């Protein structure tokens, strides 16, 4: 499993498409948005994490935007989303064989 | 040894910092300097979560929401203790916005406090926060807060032996070595 993180518009998807083609595994883009939709649908963070892990499987490639590096949002749901995304991505990063952080199209391998 | 640990929300920086301090101090006396002021249920829940996270790790907790430089840590048989200070983002907000705080002198006051703490400790791990990358514009007081925290992080990096960013549980080293 490969996890690709970084800011918005940094080239995460391009790298993920390339790596998913090589690994022949499922491509799961924008994990943070899936978490947001899941929370809005009333699902618990833990369940969302379990689901992402089983969908990805050992060959999966996932991308997520790093959303936790701003001022604490004034809105309670935004805070909940931000924190849940962080905790779930910690789980995904722990399970991943490789984690890349992409800046300006340049992947930095921070795990694996 | 002084290590500063940074990271975004939910990045795993607290757990990493606790375990780092335990690796550094071994069996020695260790304090947890808590800075969150419990002003609502959400902050109380956050405090409970952190207490649970560090339970069983042998920390003695000291509450210090402001005026860090007056904090005194008791040594153990003449030996300096170690401390985990968490975190700069709360301390900066409290010094800036609480009535008892230092106001516009927040950064200098906090830095004096950190230096006073460093002088009393064998190992000091300081937790700070990444709040600078959301691309939003803020009102004047929030912007001043970001400026203060940014300045603090730069000055902490200068006086730290290591500066580590935790990215979803993965330590990324910006200065010194990973320990």
Count of CB atoms situated within 10 Å of the CB of A5 = 25
Count of CB atoms situated within 10 Å of the CB of B88 = 23
Report the pLDDT value the prediction gives residue A54, as an integer from 0 to 100: 98
Round to whole Å and give the CA distance between A87 and A45.
Answer: 8
Mean per-residue pLDDT over chain A, rounded: 97
Structure confidence by residue, pLDDT tens digits, A7-43: 999 999 999 999 999 999 999 999 999 999 999 999 9
Domain range list for chain A = 2-111
Cα-based distances in Å from A106 to A6, A12, B76 = 10, 9, 49
A–B interface: beta-carbon pairs under 8 A: 74
Q: What are phi and psi for residue B64, nearest 5 degrees?
A: -150, 80
Residue B85's closest CA among B21, B33, B20? B33
- Cβ-proximal residues to B70 (8 Å cutoff; 6+ apart), any chain: none
**pTM score of the predicted model:** 0.94
Peptide bond into B87 cis (omega under 30): yes
Return the ∠ at Cα A54 (arms to A51 and A56), rounded to 5°. Answer: 105
Tally the residues of chain B: 179
Query: Hey, are the CB atoms on A68 and B172 less than 8 Å from each other?
Result: no
Query: Hey, are the CB atoms on B10 and A5 less than 8 Å from each other?
Result: no
Query: Hey, are the CB atoms on A94 and B10 less than 8 Å from each other?
Result: no
Half-sphere exposure of A94 (CA within 13 A, CB side): 11
B2-175 CATH, one of 3.40.190.10, 3.40.50.300, 3.20.20.110, 3.90.1150.10:
3.40.50.300
Is the reported ipTM for this assembly greater than 0.90?
yes
**A86 neighbors A36 (Cβ within 8 angstroms):** no
Report the pLDDT value the prediction gives residue B137, as an integer from 0 to 100: 86
CATH number of A2-111: 3.40.50.300
Round to whole Å and give the CA distance between B135 and B113.
Answer: 31
Q: Name the pLDDT band for B129 (thresholds 50, 70, 90).
A: very high
Find the CB nearest B8 among A86, A94, A101: A86
């Amino acid at each position: 499993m490969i996890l690709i993180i970084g800011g918005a518009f940094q080239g995460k998807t391009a790298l993920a498409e390339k790596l998913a083609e090589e690994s022949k595994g499922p491509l799961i883009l924008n994990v943070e948005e899936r978490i947001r939709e899941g929370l809005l649908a009333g699902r618990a963070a833990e369940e969302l994490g379990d689901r992402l892990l089983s969908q990805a499987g050992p060959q999966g490639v996932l991308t997520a935007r790093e959303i936790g590096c701003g001022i604490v949002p004034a809105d309670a749901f935004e805070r909940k989303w931000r924190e849940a995304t962080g905790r779930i991505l910690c789980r995904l990063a722990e399970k991943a064989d490789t984690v890349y952080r992409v800046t300006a199209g340049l992947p930095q391998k921070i795990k694996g | 040894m002084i290590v500063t640990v940074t990271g975004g929300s939910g990045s795993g920086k607290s757990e990493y910092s606790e375990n780092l301090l335990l690796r550094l101090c071994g069996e020695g006396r260790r304090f947890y300097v808590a800075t969150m002021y419990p002003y609502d249920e959400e902050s109380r829940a956050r405090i409970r979560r952190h207490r649970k996270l560090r339970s069983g790790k042998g920390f003695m907790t000291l509450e210090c929401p402001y005026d860090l430089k007056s904090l005194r840590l008791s040594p153990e048989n003449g030996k300096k203790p170690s401390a985990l200070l968490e975190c700069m983002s709360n301390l900066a907000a409290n010094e800036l916005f609480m009535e008892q705080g230092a106001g516009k002198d927040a950064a200098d006051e906090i830095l004096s406090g950190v230096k006073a703490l460093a002088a009393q400790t064998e190992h000091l791990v300081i937790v700070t926060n990444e709040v600078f990358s959301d691309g939003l514009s803020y009102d004047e007081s929030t912007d001043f807060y970001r400026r203060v925290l940014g300045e603090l992080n730069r000055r902490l990096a200068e006086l730290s032996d290591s500066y580590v960013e935790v990215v979803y549980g993965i330590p990324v080293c910006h200065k010194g070595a990973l320990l």
